[in-house]
Structure 1
Amino acid sequence: MRGPHWLALFALILAAWAALYAMSIPAELRAAGRAYGTGFWADLCNLTPDAAGFARMALMWALMSAAMMAPTALPAFATYEDLSHSGAETRFSALVGGYLVIWLGFSVMAAATQLVLFRAGLLDPFGSSASATLSAGILAMAGAYQFTPLKDACLSKCRAPMTFFMQHYDEGPFRNGLRLGAVCLGCCWALMMLAFVGGVMNIAFMGLATLLMALEKLPDIGRWLTRPLGVALLAGAVFVALNGI
């Protein structure tokens, strides 16, 4: 992983994490919001999704997607660059651009979902679930998805990126980036939706989720992680449903 293009990618990832950290809300403000209610936020500043507006919410999700998903794709990006020795066109920026286009589309849909859930009273201003039923449902959905054939099919491609790229490299780097992004989305969309349980602006949750998604794509580690993680998420859903938290 040498060259200015790698430095640019790492700079992008670090900048996205820095922006998310700056946007995250300190614990003391969260506590104040719980103590004083929604009026506290209206008087303090425009922090709610309603006030931020759809465009800024989509930008926040785009930053989160770049920060969390680009690191999980680093082995695939490096594998694609290795194909340059075969004489194929392997323009790195086009590959990464195609990959991020898919996650930009996901960000738009996630922002729309957050706004709808917030206006329905199911999310608090920080993007955390305000409903035990919603939390249990998201946990159950993410847990069940871990056992689906689609999840397995997408993970198999992420775990063998050379084979995946060799099948499609003649389509060019941008379309390969789109394909890689789509496969990555198929692996991770349900785990990303757990942000509505852990908190959309919860840096600790983002870090843990990024680590789990990165490990899940590694062939020697991931096969031992996917189903146990699914069991843990389903157990969490039952616990939340029974305890109403």
Structure 2
Amino acid sequence: MGGILLADRIRSLGAAHWLGFFGAVLIAWALMFWMAAPAELRVLEGLYGAAFIETLCGGAYGASSFLPSFAMWTLMSAAMMAPTALPALATYDDLSHVASTGFGRLLGGYLAVWIGFSALAALAQVILFRFGLIGSLGQSLSLPLTMALLIGAGVYQFSALKEACLSRCRAPLTFFMQHWDEGPFRNGIRLGTDCLGCCWALMLLGFVGGTMNLVFMGLAMVLMMLEKLPEIGRHLTKPTGLALIAAGLALPLF
């Protein structure tokens, strides 16, 4: 029986809306890879300073400009957060059996929340850059800022809000049954809001590892995906919080 259900699920992933979903995620990651500063620019930043890189690429992807930063954060949010919603999206697909328009509206509502977050994060990036707290590649240049981001994210792992949002993300069937009559777009908004409540602090750790660091972002995406899985996530959230707090407190020693 389990094998039949798995086969049905695999076949369903060949539907047009799923192909579009996975294709969009791959395109988002490809664009992020294309936008990411190559190793040569990182070497030049070390040799000549952030001002050199700001002059070189500030007109295109520099941290001092809102629109390029917003585009980068939007791509990053789509590439990282859409995959973390896979269990909820698959549950909706099983419940609805509707055309791709319903699926698309759900995903649109979900991503609308993260686009709003991206605008705030981009604004924060521009402000932090202009105060000299982050570099042109989005990495923190300030020990207090790095410590605050790590410790803040660690403490948030223990918060009641994080736990409440995670509990809803880990039970998508219950979530959709409660709000089904509101329609796919509003369901997507609700789902995105809960996801934001789970992950915003971890997303802001991009300022620690560098918002142009795709390896760091890939690892963060995997962590956030695992956190939303009931059997794995409940053993992961608080240890992750302890590790982040310890890293923040130990940072001055290194």
Question: TM tier, shorter chain?
Answer: over 0.9
The corresponding residue for 2:8 is none
Which stretch shifts more, 89-98 or 213-222?
Answer: 89-98
- 2:65 is the counterpart of 1:48: no
**Aligned partners of 2:57 and 2:49: how far apart in 1?**
14
The 8 Å contact of residues 58 and 108 in structure 1, kept in 2 or not, is answered as yes
The corresponding residue for 1:29 is 41
* TM-score of the superposed pair, with normalisation by structure 2: 0.91
- One of 224, 229, 235 as aligned partner of 2:240: 229
Q: Is the partner of 2:14 in helix, strand or coil?
A: coil
- One of 194, 198, 213 as aligned partner of 2:205: 194
- 2:9 is the counterpart of 1:8: no
Letter in 2 for 1:65: S
- One of 161, 175, 178 as aligned partner of 1:164: 175
**Aligned partners of 1:114 and 1:190: how far apart in 2?**
15
The corresponding residue for 2:190 is 179
Q: Calculate the aligned-residue CA RMSD, in Å.
A: 1.5
The 8 Å contact of residues 90 and 172 in structure 1, kept in 2 or not, is answered as no
- 2:157 is the counterpart of 1:146: yes
Higher RCO, Cα 8 Å, sep 6+: 1
**Aligned partners of 2:221 and 2:54: how far apart in 1?**
32
Q: Which runs of 4+ in 1 moved over 6 A?
A: none
- Give the C-alpha shift of residue 116 in structure 1: 0.6
| Number of equivalences | 239
**Aligned partners of 1:37 and 1:123: how far apart in 2?**
12
Structure 2 gap segments, 5+ residues each: 1-12
Q: Show CA shifts across 1:56-76 (max 9, x none).
A: 211110000000000000110
The aligned runs of 1:16-95 (5 Å cut-off) are 16-46=28-58, 47-50=61-64, 53-84=65-96, 91-95=102-106
The 8 Å contact of residues 25 and 82 in structure 2, kept in 1 or not, is answered as yes
C-alpha spacing 1:42/1:99, structure 2 compared with 1 (3 Å): closer
- Give the C-alpha shift of residue 40 in structure 1: 2.2
C-alpha spacing 1:39/1:139, structure 2 compared with 1 (3 Å): closer
Identity of matched residues, %: 57
Letter in 2 for 1:41: I
- Give the C-alpha shift of residue 28 in structure 1: 3.0
The 8 Å contact of residues 63 and 129 in structure 2, kept in 1 or not, is answered as yes
The 8 Å contact of residues 62 and 68 in structure 2, kept in 1 or not, is answered as no
The aligned runs of 1:112-127 (5 Å cut-off) are 112-127=123-138
**Aligned partners of 2:101 and 2:167: how far apart in 1?**
22
